[in-house]
Amino acid sequence: MIKADLIKKLDFGILTITSLFLIMIMVSLLSAQIAVKGEKIYTMNGEMIENGVILIKDDKISAVGKSGEIAVPDNYKIIEGKVVTPGLIDSRSVVGLAGIYNQKHDQDQLEKSDPIQPDLRAIDAYNPREELVGWIRSFGVTTINTGHAPGALISGQTMITKTYGTMESHTILDSVSMVAFSLGSEVTSEFKTPGSRPKGIAMLRAKLYEAKAYLAKKNGEENTTPLNIENEILGKVLNREIPALITADKAVDIMGALRLAEEFDLDIILNSAEEAYLLIDQIKNANVPVILHASMARLSSGSFETASKLGEAGILFSVESGYESYVPKTRVVLFEAGVYAANGLSFEDALASITINAAKILKIDDRVGSIEVGKNADVAIYNGDPFEYLTKCCGVIIDGQILEEECK
């Protein structure tokens, strides 16, 4: 009996020590104090800072400026690099739903049983432990808008998450950020119906009018309407609570997307938009942002100069990794923006397309996308020009936590 009591006390002591150790680890993570020094710091909120420093306390940026103007406290961990940028943002991805090995068991990005499934939630398929998440993070990508792939008239929902953790509440910035639509030949190649462009538009219009009628009936005096989860999410799209992300590459499909937006007063974002350079005036007049296709995507009539043309016209755009069908299943926005930078887009505009502009399109620019006091401490550190192929990412900080500290 005495022996049993002693074992219990020892067990309790071990548990207490373990608990205290875990608490100490958690406290140390929550109270991170870091100073990032850079020969060039691109804050994306003003001029580039030469020989600058960023102070990080807990999970936020507490100070940023020239090294001579900001004193680094003695107890701060110092990380240095040649070029420092905000953590990169991939504004359209399928990472976490599409797995690195391209095997059937880890491919949840497109459900082919029905061309219209707005009720499918990215959060129900996203795997934070997927190797691709860590892989893109190693290049400086700290935030992604990921979810169901193009290829269906409505393939499902997207979500915005940081590229670390295991889906803790603070790592998910928006569990339902957009509803993904697609127009054009890509849809007809995946499904028996629609068999043509006009059929696809007709099916979408019918579904949106059905959702509109559902809302009207639901909001009536006697609400006895059975819950319909497809119409519930489409109702939020119709009410402009959630934007419609419409993948449309050819000019005819882009015009179809703009007509849908006008008919139903939708808040839309054009996605991929291969032939956007043919419709600069129409897109600008519609005041629609563009998440532009990866520069190296295998498209039939795209242009490396589309990004610069959108920028010159004052159209808000970002650059995506998009959906890739072959291993390793994703591109890296750092390289995609770099190609546009080599084809007419300025360095600053290319960097904006994967930082602050992406944040504005995703409506999270109050938290990420630039290096400003009070924003999330998401920082990428490079040993040279980020858009030079031989440059390596030598440090990644997300929410004040050092996730990468080696040049890769």
**Chain segment 128-181, per-residue pLDDT in tens:** 999 999 999 999 999 999 999 999 999 999 999 999 999 999 999 999 999 999
* Per-residue pLDDT at 192: 85
Q: What is the pLDDT of residues 72-97, one digit of tens each?
A: 999 999 999 999 999 999 999 999 99
Q: Beta strand pairing status for 33-41 and 77-86?
A: parallel
Phi, psi of 212, rounded to the nearest 5 degrees = -65, -45
Q: What is the pLDDT of residues 396-405, one digit of tens each?
A: 999 999 999 9
Give CA–CA dist 293/274, Å, rounded: 7
Confidence of residue 25 (pLDDT cuts 50, 70, 90): very low
User: If you write DSSP's letter for every residue of 289-333 in order, what string do you get?
Assistant: -EEEPPTTS--SS--TTHHHHHHHTT--EEE--B--SSTT----H
Identify the residue with better confidence: 328 or 183. Answer: 183
* Per-residue pLDDT at 6: 45
* Per-residue pLDDT at 326: 73
Q: Which residues have CB under 8 Å from 82's CB, separation 6+?
A: 38, 39, 40, 382, 383, 384
Contact of 293 with 282, CB cutoff 8 Å: no
CA dihedral sign, ordered 363, 284, 150, 192: positive
Q: pLDDT at residue 24 above 90?
A: no
Instruction: Find tokens 């710091």 and name the residue.
Output: 41
* Per-residue pLDDT at 17: 53
What mean pLDDT do residues 280-284 have?
A: 98
User: Which helix (H) or strand (E) covers residue 198, if one does?
Assistant: helix 197-218
Q: pLDDT at residue 13 above 60?
A: no
Confidence of residue 252 (pLDDT cuts 50, 70, 90): very high
User: Which helix (H) or strand (E) covers residue 83, if one does?
Assistant: strand 77-86
Q: Which pair of tokens denotes residue 299?
A: 């498209």
User: If you write DSSP's letter for every residue of 17-42 in order, what string do you get?
Assistant: HHHHHHHHHHHHHHT-EEEEEEEEE-
User: Which helix (H) or strand (E) covers residue 261, if one does?
Assistant: helix 251-264
Domains in the chain: ranges and CATH = 32-87+370-408 (2.30.40.10), 88-368 (3.20.20.140)
Phi, psi of 175, rounded to the nearest 5 degrees = -75, -25
Identify the residue with better confidence: 2 or 233. Answer: 233
Contact of 66 with 52, CB cutoff 8 Å: yes
* Per-residue pLDDT at 289: 98
% of the chain residues with pLDDT over 70 = 92
Give CA–CA dist 130/108, Å, rounded: 12
CA nearest to 119, candidates 246, 272, 236, 265: 236
Q: What is the pLDDT of residues 296-355, one digit of tens each?
A: 998 889 999 999 999 999 999 999 999 887 767 899 999 999 999 999 999 999 999 999
Q: pLDDT at residue 23 above 80?
A: no
Q: What is the pLDDT of residues 365-398, one digit of tens each?
A: 999 999 999 999 999 999 999 999 999 999 999 9
pTM for the model stands at: 0.91
Phi, psi of 203, rounded to the nearest 5 degrees = -65, -40
Give CA–CA dist 166/193, Å, rounded: 38
Q: Which residues have CB under 8 Å from 15's CB, separation 6+?
A: none
Q: What is the pLDDT of residues 32-78, one digit of tens each?
A: 799 999 999 999 999 999 999 999 999 999 999 999 999 999 999 99
